[in-house]
């Protein structure tokens, strides 16, 4: 009885395909997104009562969360979320869903705009630098888009 699916990887934490994010802590991914949000001019706020009741206790990126539909968190959008492609990432689930190639192209361009604003020094945990982590994500987004493949979260 051979394994026809090839070797299996045991993942701990978040994984995003195409080399965007190798297995790592959800908390690191959250810190990275918060850093991107701040660099882009968004602010972080304390969670409201409903968010606390849902188990959110850390800072929250101040977005119009009431405007998003459940499918948006999975990467499914009927139209772009405003004029900032960064929303594709900031509003995305951190454990499942996809970023489609067209979204990925725009998101990669937006992340490149933020690179000069990101720190290169060690950022704690397994993130060597916020800039380096962002560069990896950009490369993965472009790799997926050039192959016309979705970036998958798992």
Question: Do 154 and 21 contact (CB within 8 A), yes or no?
Answer: no
* Residue range 125-144, pLDDT digits in tens: 778 899 999 999 999 999 99
* pLDDT tens readout for residues 66-100: 999 999 999 999 999 989 999 999 999 999 999 99
Alpha-carbon gap, residue 13 to 2, rounded angstroms: 28
pLDDT tens-digit profile of 19-51? 999 878 898 999 999 999 999 999 999 999 999
The H or E element containing residue 113 is helix 101-114
Q: How is the chain split into domains, by residue range? A: 14-40+72-153
Distance CA(152)–CA(100), nearest Å, equals 9
pTM (2 d.p.): 0.88
Closest CA to 141 of 83, 88, 69, 66: 88
């Amino acid at each position: 009885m051979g394994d026809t699916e090839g070797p299996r990887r045991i993942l701990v934490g978040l994984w995003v395909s195409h080399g965007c994010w190798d297995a790592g802590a959800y908390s690191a991914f959250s810190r990275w997104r918060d850093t991107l949000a701040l660099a882009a001019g968004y602010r972080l706020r304390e969670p409201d009562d409903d968010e606390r009741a849902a188990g959110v206790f850390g800072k929250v990126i101040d977005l119009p969360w009431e405007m998003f539909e459940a499918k948006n968190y999975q990467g499914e959008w009927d139209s772009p979320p405003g004029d900032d492609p960064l929303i594709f990432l900031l509003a995305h689930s951190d454990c499942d869903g996809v970023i489609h190639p067209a979204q990925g192209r725009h998101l990669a361009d937006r992340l490149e705009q933020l690179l000069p604003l990101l720190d290169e020094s060690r950022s704690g945990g397994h993130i060597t630098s916020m800039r380096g982590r962002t560069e990896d994500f950009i490369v993965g987004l472009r790799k997926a888009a050039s192959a016309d493949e979705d970036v998958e979260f798992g």
